[in-house]
Structure 1
């Protein structure tokens, strides 16, 4: 894209990050996320959800929390897909108390599909 003078936008970056996450290339996805931020392209809930889902699946709980907080700090709101990614990983990891706390937060925020 860049060689053809096409400037990547949020959709391009989010698609690439999603693909890298699905391929298990976590470090590359995170590096691309950082490049995107450096270029002044603000991530959206889709970008964050891809990273959060990948972090959850890898058991990277500290990274999951950091990304989730970063999502909120950026002014984006988690959606049902974001919450479900975290819930799925928490349940599979046996973190029942954390799962229940997150469900309570979802209910308080009236999170809907």
Structure 2
């Protein structure tokens, strides 16, 4: 794309990040996320819906929580997938109080906990 003077947009980056995450190439997806930010392209809920669960699957709990905080800082409203990924990361890291605070934040934002939410808390 770049060689043909086609400038990637948020959709292009999201597609590539999604594909890299699905292939288990977490580090490459995160590097692309950083490039996207450097280019001034603001990530959206789709970006974070790919990255946050991939961070958790890779055992990068702190990174998942950092991504979640980044999402909030960007003014993007998290969806249930993002909330559950961050919640799971907190629970696996033994941060029960923070996880329960996150559930309260979910409720305040009108996001109803689901089976995945409760499974993370129970585990």
**TM above 0.5:** yes
- Could you tell me which residue of structure 1 aligns to residue 117 of structure 2? none
Alignment check: 8 A CA contact 1:26 1:54 kept: yes
Structure 1 gaps, min length 5: none
Q: TM-score, normalised by structure 1?
A: 0.83
Measured in 2, the distance between the counterparts of 1:6 and 1:59 equals: 35
- Could you tell me which residue of structure 2 aligns to residue 28 of structure 1? 28
Measured in 2, the distance between the counterparts of 1:94 and 1:73 equals: 22
How far did residue 56 of structure 1 move?
Answer: 1.1
Q: TM-score, normalised by structure 2?
A: 0.77
- Could you tell me which residue of structure 2 aligns to residue 9 of structure 1? 9
RMSD of aligned residue pairs (Cα, Å): 2.2
Measured in 1, the distance between the counterparts of 2:95 and 2:41 equals: 36
Alignment check: 8 A CA contact 2:61 2:93 kept: no
Quick one: higher RCO (CA 8 Å, sep 6+), 1 or 2? Answer: 1
Structure 2 gaps, min length 5: 113-123
Measured in 2, the distance between the counterparts of 1:46 and 1:84 equals: 15
What count of residue pairs does the alignment treat as equivalent?
112
